[in-house]
Amino acid sequence: MKKIAFFTYIAFILIFVFAFSALIYASNNLYHDEVGLLTENESEYVSELLNEIEDTYEIKLIIAVVNDSGYKSAYNYAADHLYSSLGSFKSGAILLLSMEDRDWAFYATGSARRILTDSKIDSMMETLISDYFSRDEYYGGFCGLINQCTSYFVRATENGIDSNADYDEDDNLSISSCLIIALVIGLVASGITVLVLRGQLKSVKSARCASNYVDSGSFALTESRDIYLYSTISKTARSQSSSSGSRSGGGRSGKF
């Protein structure tokens, strides 16, 4: 009886260890491939590069290949996959390829989203699709994605990752600076216009009442009453809370 209890205890320990190991492996497996696009060596190399990005920049970059996205769009599937894989990380990005309909989606959140802006994603994916994915050269495309994202992360790290900054290469001014400049220019232009119009109306003097503009005896009020003409009803939808929680990320999607 003691032997049965002992072996049962050992079995439970082994089950727990294997389950925990599988969970850790799944959470750290940044390259997820249901189709088998890459060879074993290629998969290991891509995974190593993704792990290096995670260790260096504290950003989870995930590449996921699935047969199809089910009832979800590729974009929503990618977002759900990313958030379920972040764990303790607050920043991450994912490239999803759905092979059945040849859909792609790129989604990012946290500092990764502030670095990987829409213009960067568009430029990066346009190159990857035309040079690699449209030709079914997925290994080269995945390596190209990792190299391009790494260059963006390096530049952002050197400049300091700022939640209010936009890291577009073609932009020398942040969006907030442009808005402030535009506001100042608008105020100056409107002020000049008002001064010019005011200068043209110096000869006009305001009257204290309107009696000076009415001929004496030309108007006599005989009856007054209030008439109800119409009513206006406006309806505003009541906001509803969502059980899925708020998400601050974003990205792009399309076909390849």
In whole angstroms, what is the distance from residue 96 CA to residue 82 CA? 10
Question: Is 208 part of any domain?
Answer: no
Write b or e for each residue in 201-220: b if 16 or more Cβ atoms lie within 10 A of its Cβ, otherwise e: eeeeeeeeeeeeeeeeeeee
- pLDDT at position 20 is 34
Q: Is the pLDDT of residue 164 over 70?
A: no
Judge whether 256 lies within some domain: no
Buried b (16+ CB within 10 A) or exposed e, 80-98: bbbbebbeeeebbbbbbbb
In a domain, 49, yes or no: yes
Return the residue matching tokens 């232009």. Answer: 189
- Name which of 229, 129, 113 is nearest 166 in CA terms: 113
pLDDT in tens, 101-154: 999 999 999 999 999 999 999 999 999 999 999 999 999 999 999 999 999 999
Alpha helices, DSSP H only, in the chain?
A: 2-28, 40-57, 74-85, 111-115, 118-131, 138-159, 175-200
- Give me the residues paired with residue 33 across strands: 65
Q: What are phi and psi of 6, to 5 degrees?
A: -65, -50
CB-based burial of residue 119 (10 Å sphere; 0-12 exposed, 13-18 middle, 19+ buried)?
Answer: middle
Residue 250 lies in a domain: no
Q: Pick the more confident residue, 45 or 235.
A: 45
Lowest-pLDDT choice from 57-66, 225-234, 243-252: 225-234
Q: What is the CATH number of the domain that holds 133?
A: 3.10.310.50
- Give me the pLDDT at residue 122, please: 95
Reading phi first (left if > 0) and then psi (alpha if -120 to 50, else beta), residue 136 is in left
The model's pLDDT over 30-69, given as tens digits with 9 standing for 90+, comes to 999 999 999 999 999 999 999 999 999 999 999 999 999 9
Does residue 149 lie within any of the structural domains?
yes
111 or 223, which is more confident? 111
Encoding tokens for residue 154? 């390096």
| pTM attached to this predicted model | 0.59
Q: How many domains does the chain fold into?
A: 1
Q: Is 153 contained in some domain?
A: yes
Higher pLDDT, 246 or 19: 246
pLDDT mean across residues, the chain = 74
130 belongs to a structural domain? yes
- Domain with 97 in it: 30-172
Residue 220: its pLDDT value, please? 65
Q: Tokens at residue 232, please? A: 């206006």
Is the residue at 190 inside a domain? Answer: no
CA–CA dist 53, 30 (Å, integer): 10
Max mean pLDDT range (140-154, 206-220, 240-254): 140-154
Q: Which residue has the tokens 């008002």?
A: 194
Q: pLDDT above 90 covers what percent of the chain?
A: 50
Under DSSP, is residue 251 helix (H, G, I), strand (E, B) or coil? strand
